[in-house]
Amino acid sequence: MDRETEPDIEQTGPLLPVEALQEASTPVAPASRPAISGLGADPRVPVWIRRAVIAAVVGIAVTIWLGWRVGLTFAALVAIADTVYQSKRMAVIPAAARVTAAQRRTRRRLLLLRPSGYLALHARAIPGSGSVIDHLVIGPPGVFAVDSEYWDRRLPVRASGGKILYHGPANRKERLVHARWEAAQASLLVGAALGQPLGVRPVMVIYGPTIPWAVASLRGVDVFSGAWVRKYFSRKARAARRRHLTGAQISHIYEAAAEVLPPAR
């Protein structure tokens, strides 16, 4: 997808007063294109239907030949065998491995932005909590706390009302709230080290399922597909070209962030 499906997201300036920082956290409703009919349906339903049809056909055929008891047994065996096969073929990657894979993919994309003046800290712990900021990105358009997630690709992703993010039937509100909290903590800690207010934009990057929009702002969190990482920051830079951070400011913020946000263990 080469164009955004919503109005431009409100830009966050390099250094913000407290009022602007609060405003940056206000949710903006995405103007994404209408969801495709049936988008919210469970993608496993076709698998279940196919399994039932195959089991029924086998059961009927064996019933005609050897009787209903044997036919029923064969139908059950076919259903069990297909269930085992599908579970192995479509096994979900363990959560820890998925997170690591997502973070690595985002790291590679962010590395390509270094020639454009971006610096990034990866896997930084928030002191006094068990939370980790996956990527703190500092560049010409400002500072961003990026959360990289790998979700089950079989389940669809959709948004509602600018506040709700669904992955299949599950409401992922807690992920949006946590992303905002991490950005707020980075803002407070790094801003204190700098001695001035600092705006940090919360961002969520999703890998796995298809994302039916370019960039959506949900509860103040910019949400988009991992394939959009470079394009997202490039567009942010163009939109904020009159309020760019200088190279010296970027380095200063980077050093302060590295000091107050230690590497996660």
Q: Which of 60, 4, 19, 236 minimizes the C-alpha distance to 137?
A: 236
pLDDT in tens, 115-152: 999 999 999 999 999 899 999 999 999 999 999 999 99
Residue type, position 139, single letter:
G
Please check whether residue 230 is in contact with residue 111, taking contact to mean a CB–CB distance below 8 angstroms: no
Q: What local confidence, expressed as pLDDT, does residue 86 receive?
A: 59
Rounded Cα distance between 255 and 169, Å, is 42
Q: Is the pLDDT of residue 93 over 70?
A: no
Give the pTM: 0.66
